[in-house]
Amino acid sequence: MSDAVPDPVEEAPPEPRWRRRKQARPEELVAAALALFAEQGFAATRMRDVAKRAGVSKGTVYLYFQSKEDLLRAAVRGSIIPILDVGDDLELDSDASASALLQRLLEDWVGEFDRRGVTGVPRLVMAEAGNFPEIAEEYVTTVIQRSRRLFARVLKRGVRDGEFRDIDVRAAVDVLLAPVLYGQMHRASLGAWDPEAFGPAFLAAHLQFFLRSIQRQPDE
């Protein structure tokens, strides 16, 4: 009978809390950065935090982005500007009434912000405007002013076709968009505590009130 002691069974090493990946697409890095910006703030987020959240090395992040500012710019250029591209195409190609087109554009705007996970970007840009004025300036130029031009074209179409009264289009655009933009910032900041605010019912009511205020009446 053998007195040999059997070899002890080796235990598998514990699974790491996160796995490092060799590569990540730029949009995945942007998504990781935006999640961290929302959780811990822009100033407190470090590039190595982004790398860890995305499961890559810090060097991989620097292959695509040199700074947090570049990540924020990429979020605007890669996620928000395409929403406006689609809106511009829709405005050019649609034969719908101006009222129907406004409804479609606003619903698509809010829906796409949610779907792309960039609802918090406007709040973030506004909060960091004093620290990064060049990002704020770029956002105003590429997003705010461009969206104003898009909705102004639709309002002018409605005036031209006799659907809307002769209105101050520039002021009307701000009246239309400001509550929507505020609603997005409210949801990004306080949505966890106020989940029912500024949802689809708000958007429908806001548009209804707005259209009633500018639609041409039969005796006009």
129: domain CATH number is 1.10.357
pLDDT tens digits for 26-70? Answer: 889 998 988 888 888 888 899 999 999 999 998 999 999 999 899
Tell me, yes or no, whether 84 and 178 share the same domain.
yes
Smallest CA-to-CA distance from 42 within 63, 73, 15, 13 is with 73
Pick the last residue of a domain from 66, 100, 122: 66
Tell me, yes or no, whether 97 and 197 share the same domain.
yes
Smallest CA-to-CA distance from 40 within 130, 131, 120 is with 120
Tell me, yes or no, whether 94 and 143 share the same domain.
yes
pLDDT tens digits for 173-192? Answer: 999 999 999 999 999 889 88
Q: Domain span at residue 103?
A: 79-214
Is residue 161, in this structure, part of any structural domain at all?
A: yes
Return phi, psi of residue 87, to 5°: -65, -40
Is residue 180, in this structure, part of any structural domain at all?
A: yes
Bridge partners, residue 215, by sequence: 164
Regarding pTM above 0.85, the answer is: no
